[in-house]
Amino acid sequence: MSERETAAAAGKNGAKIGTEPRRVEEANAVHNSNSGTPGNAEARPAGRPEIPTATAAAQVRTTAAADPILVVDRLTLSVASGQNLVQDVSFSLGRGDSLGIVGESGSGKSLTLRAVLGLLPSGVKRTGGEVRHTVRSAMVFQDPRGALDPLCPVVKQVAEVVRYRQGKNRREARAEALKLLGLLGLPDSLKREDRYPNQLSGGQCQRIVIALALACRPDILLCDEPTTALDVTVQRQIIDLIARLQRELGFALVFVTHNLAIAAEVCTRIAVMRQGRLVEEGPSVDVLVRPRDPYTQMLVEAVLPLPEFVSESEDRTRDSGEGGTR
Amino acid sequence: MSHRSISPEAGPLPAGRGWSRVRRTPALLAGSFMMLVLILLAVFIPWISPYDPIAQDLSAFLRPPSADHWLGTDQLGRDLFTRLVYAARTDLGIMVLAEIIPFCLGITIGMLAGYYGGWVDTVVSLVTDTFIAFPFYLIIIIVAFASGAGAQGIYITFMLVGWIVFARVSRGLAASLKRQEWIASAQTLGLPGWRILLRHLLPNILPQAVVVLMTDMVGILVAIVTLGYLGIGIAPPTPDWGTMIADGQSFMTTAWWLSAMPGLAVVYTGLALSLIGDGLADLWRRKS
């Protein structure tokens, strides 16, 4: 996995340069703002001048993965009235990478994710930049019950995706679907009788939604606040599940959440968005321990008091490192 | 009853399925029972009644209800009960036949328009709105006169305009369901479009459409009876509730049952269909 490096722009953040993380591994880290993304010969707009914008949320230059499977390049999304909902957002993702996108409601994080899938709501258009990816992607939705056909038994829904995405016949598809459900820790009772989404709990539904996504054998799993609609205890289970699956199956992960702690736990990198712009991007621990942008600092302070956080973060990293279902 | 899952996040108790849920829907039960009685009567009437619905017996005209003639006889000496039930055969048969094709057609058109939107939707909406604004009875009377008396006028009219109500309903449902997350989810999961339409969208539209179908059938029945009453529907001597009501009118003072009974038969059928419709709507509401 490629390491990444962040570079702060000038302006307010300049003062913090001394403390900012600079884990530079130039060998495989490439600025994507001017030099282009490796492995991509497509025409790009001419490089922007390196003049930092005057806003406090200055341009954040993110680094490209060495061999990116997903490149979001200066993506701008607007509504018809011309207002930009997402502006100049860039990031890239290598095979097996995990990126958490954090931000408040309306910061454009979900929209960015949806743009990757081409699932923009009507009225929102991409007006600049581009999204490039060559691999299969699948999405885990925020409201698990809403993401399932209410009148179709859940096993059937999973089997259907297996059947069409993996080219299997009915019986193989059902067997494969049941295997997937087993992998996701769903009870055996699902195998014996048809269950509909409204007969399952939120957590079980979210597992089904994850199973649907995995049935596509994705190289990138896009998670749109997958735990927001769930109880706290179930949140924990789903987060552990996604982290475990990522380790076992090796897909790349983009995890959108408003919870900085969750993002840090699941992802190796974090991008912070605010008002449609990327304000900070870097390795999770660095972003949390030494946030450069004032907004990120505010987020960190709001979520976790720093002193307690340090020890807690170490605990959590260790836990997940051990593969920990608690 | 199915057992609960043992997962720590155990779901709600599964709702009753199938029959047990139907049993808790009295409207559906009552409506189905009424309809069943009518259908059984219509099917078995040749064995139930010794009388012929058409053959006249002028020696026994305008008899009041008795043990021999349960509902009396009409002005031509025909047993009224027998004719009522044979008329149910005619009228219900036409009602169902006239509704099948418009039902399928309307759902298909509406679903495609609602799901795909764009110009198809614009055209469909335009056509449906235009037809809705056009008085239905005017169309049916024009067609009935143009095509001659009999059932074909009803079939043609319903082929022309019957699909519209279903198209409207399923278009609206499809358009609103389209915005739900699970349709977007199915699309991103790479399911083919026809599969999403047939296996996911259609089952979610059908319940509502069936409820509308029940209400609409009442409308058709009334239309058939009205045409018969006006003398441009089913041609005599084929028994039909509409012509029976019209024929009985001249004897209202002496034999009121001649008009009242066919009228009650229409009310009975309409009530049964409405109850079924309400019951089904109830059932689906509780399910979701």
Q: Is A154 on the interface with B (CB under 8 A)?
A: no
Q: ∠ CA B200-B17-A198 to the nearest 5 degrees?
A: 50
Give the model's pLDDT for residue B5.
38
**Alpha-carbon gap: B178 to the closest alpha carbon of chain A (Å):** 11
Question: How much is the pLDDT for B2?
Answer: 41
Crossing angle between the packed helical segments B257-287 and B80-116, to the nearest 10 degrees: 30
Q: Residues near A192 by Cβ (< 8 Å), separated by ≥ 6?
A: none
**Cβ–Cβ gap A148/B185 under 8 Å:** yes
Number of H helices, E strands in chain A: 10, 11
Dist. CA A53–CA A76, nearest whole Å:
16
Domains within chain A, CATH numbers bracketed = 11-33+57-135+219-321 (3.40.50.300)
From A161, A189, A204, residue closest to B3, measured CB to CB: A189
What's the pLDDT band for A312 if we cut at 50, 70, 90? low
Over range B155-174, report the average pLDDT. Answer: 89
Which one of A189, A240, A326 would you mutate to disrupt binding with B, by most B Cβ within 10 Å of its Cβ? A189
- CB distance A44 to A30 below 8 Å: no
With vertex at residue A53, the alpha carbon angle to CA A52 and CA A58, rounded to the nearest 5 degrees, is 80
Give the pLDDT of residue B17.
58
What does the pLDDT read at residue B14? 42
**What DSSP character marks residue B235?**
P
State pLDDT tens for residues B109-163.
Answer: 999 999 988 898 999 999 888 888 888 888 888 888 888 767 788 888 888 888 8
- Closest alpha carbon to A62 in A84, A94, A18: A94
Q: How confident is the model at residue B29 (pLDDT cuts 50, 70, 90)?
A: very high
Helices B136-147 and B151-161: angle between axes, nearest 10 degrees: 140
Instruction: Give the residue with greater pLDDT, B207 vs A1.
Output: B207
> How sure is the predictor about A121, in pLDDT bands with cuts at 50, 70 and 90?
confident
Helix residue spans in A33-108 (DSSP H): none
| pLDDT > 80? residue A21 | no
For residue B191, the distance in angstroms to the closest alpha carbon of chain A comes to 6
Instruction: Determine, for residues A164 and B288 on separate chains, whether the beta-carbon distance falls below 8 Å.
Output: no
Greater confidence (B112 vs A37) lies with B112
Task: Report pLDDT for B90.
Answer: 87
Residues in chain A with CB shorter than 8 Å from the CB of B176 are none
Q: Give per-residue pLDDT as tens, A131-157.
A: 888 888 888 988 888 889 888 888 889
Q: What is the mean pLDDT of chain B?
A: 84
Q: How far is CA B38 from each of CA A125, A204, B160, rounded to the nearest angstrom?
A: 58, 47, 29
Residue B67 pLDDT class (50, 70, 90 cuts): confident
Size of the A and B interface in Cβ pairs below 8 Å: 91
Q: What is the dihedral of CA A298, A299, A305, A309, to 10 degrees?
A: -130
List of long-range contacts for A235-239, beta carbons under 8 Å, 24+ apart: A235/A262, A237/A203, A237/B8, A237/B9, A238/A203, A238/A206, A238/A207, A238/A210, A239/A265, A239/A266
Residue of B nearest to A118 (CA): B188
CATH code for the part of the protein at B25-43+70-287: 1.10.3720.10
Rounded distance between C-alpha atoms, residue A274 and residue B215, angstroms: 53
**pLDDT-based confidence at residue B18 (cuts at 50, 70, 90):** low
* Residue A277 DSSP SS3: strand
Min Cα–Cα distance to chain B from A86, Å: 21
Chain B hits for A161, Cβ within 8 Å: 189-191
Please tell me the distance in Å from B13's CA to the nearest CA on chain A. Answer: 7
Task: Taking residues A7-23, report their average pLDDT.
Answer: 37
Provide the shortest C-alpha distance from residue B217 to chain A (in Å): 26
- Find the distance separating the first CA and the last CA of chain B, reported in whole Å: 19
What's the residue count for chain B?
Answer: 288
ipTM for the predicted complex: 0.70
Q: How confident is the model at residue B273 (pLDDT cuts 50, 70, 90)?
A: very high
Residue closest to A95 by CA, chosen among A218, A202, A190: A218
The pLDDT, as a whole number, for residue B181 is: 86
Q: Output phi, psi for A30, to 5 deg.
A: -130, 130
The residues spanned by each domain of chain B are: 25-43+70-287
Interface contact flag, B2 A147, Cβ < 8 Å? no
- % pLDDT > 90, chain B: 23
Q: Please indicate whether residue B287 or residue A145 has the higher confidence score (pLDDT).
A: A145
Write down the pLDDT at residue A317: 54
The Cα–Cα gap between B206 and B213 comes to 10
Q: Is B219 exposed, middle or buried (0-12, 13-18, 19+ CB in 10 A)?
A: middle
HSE, CB side, 13 Å, CA atoms: give it for residue A278. 29
| Average pLDDT over every residue of A200-209 | 89
Task: Label residue A316 by pLDDT band (50, 70, 90).
Answer: low
- Looking at chain A, the whole-number percentage of residues with pLDDT higher than 90 is 10
| Residue pointed to by tokens 């406090």 | A56
CB contact under 8 A, A213 and B182: no
pLDDT band at A66 (very low <50, low <70, confident <90, very high): low
Calpha distance A319→A313 (Å, rounded): 10
B213: nearest Cα among B95, B133, B89: B95
**CB-count exposure of residue A110 (10 Å: 0-12, 13-18, 19+):** buried
Question: Residue B188: which of A117, A149, A152 has the nearest Cβ?
Answer: A117
How confident is the model over B28-36, as a mean pLDDT?
Answer: 93
Whole-number average pLDDT of chain A: 75
Does A44 score more than 50 pLDDT? no
